[in-house]
Amino acid sequence: MRRLVTGTAALTALACATPAQATPTQATPTQADTTAAAVQAATMQAADPIRLRIPSIGLTTRLIALELDRTGKLIAPKRYDLAGWNVAGPEPGEKGAAVIAGHVDSRTGPAVFYGLRRLKHGDRIHVDRADGSTVTFKVRRLAGYAKNRIPDKQVYGSTSRPELRLITCGGPFDKERRSYRDNLVIFAS
């Protein structure tokens, strides 16, 4: 797994917390200790994501790796029909905010993340990984931000559990810049 952390727009370094440990007076681990250890083991070394599925909006897409530019900003996918994940941050299922980005449209019509605005609280998002496992997230909220005012800590910052952020363009289209003014961010855990 690779880590490249630069600039504020990149995912920040994540502090790892250890699960509750059995004290010397305990003969065997409690169910909570065993569960915490299993969660930590499952989230520490998550395999690379390969596919994103969102049944509520009929979306299935292959995932590609996305790098950061020299300023630490995530480079958008070159293709409009595929989404990509931020290789500088955690993989989906690892502790922290994993980020997947995709285009909302293209010159010829809707793109891969066109339907994200239809997501609702509680909708499920499935990320299939290279090792054959799947991690499932639930949508908590949708938020729109001006592109120059994205709250980096909320979107990219460290979290105490595995979380997912889906990002695409939104808001009004600026014809002079040939770009949307805002970003739509889906927060899921």
pTM for the model stands at 0.76
Q: State how far the alpha carbon of 110 is from the alpha carbons of 56, 79, 82, in Å.
A: 17, 12, 12
Q: Are 16 and 160 within 8 A, CB to CB?
A: no
What string of pLDDT tens digits covers the 189 residues of the chain?
A: 444 333 333 332 222 222 232 323 333 444 544 444 444 444 457 899 999 999 999 999 999 999 999 998 899 999 999 999 999 999 999 999 999 999 999 989 999 999 999 999 999 999 999 999 999 999 999 999 988 888 888 888 889 999 999 999 998 888 888 888 899 999 999
Cα gap 12→6, rounded to integer Å = 8
Q: Domains in the chain and their CATH numbers?
A: 31-188 (2.40.260.10)
pLDDT of residue 18: 25
Cβ atoms of residues 101 and 186 within 8 Å: no
What letter does residue 91 receive in the DSSP assignment?
Answer: P
Residue 179 has a pLDDT of: 84
As a whole number of angstroms, the distance between CA 157 and CA 10 comes to 8
Question: Rounded CA gap, 66 and 54, in Å?
Answer: 20
**Are 162 and 84 in contact, with CB atoms under 8 Å apart?**
no
pLDDT at residue 64, rounded to an integer: 97
Q: 50 burial class (0-12, 13-18, 19+ CB within 10 angstroms)?
A: middle
Query: In one letter, which amino acid is 137?
Result: F
**What pLDDT was estimated at residue 44?**
53
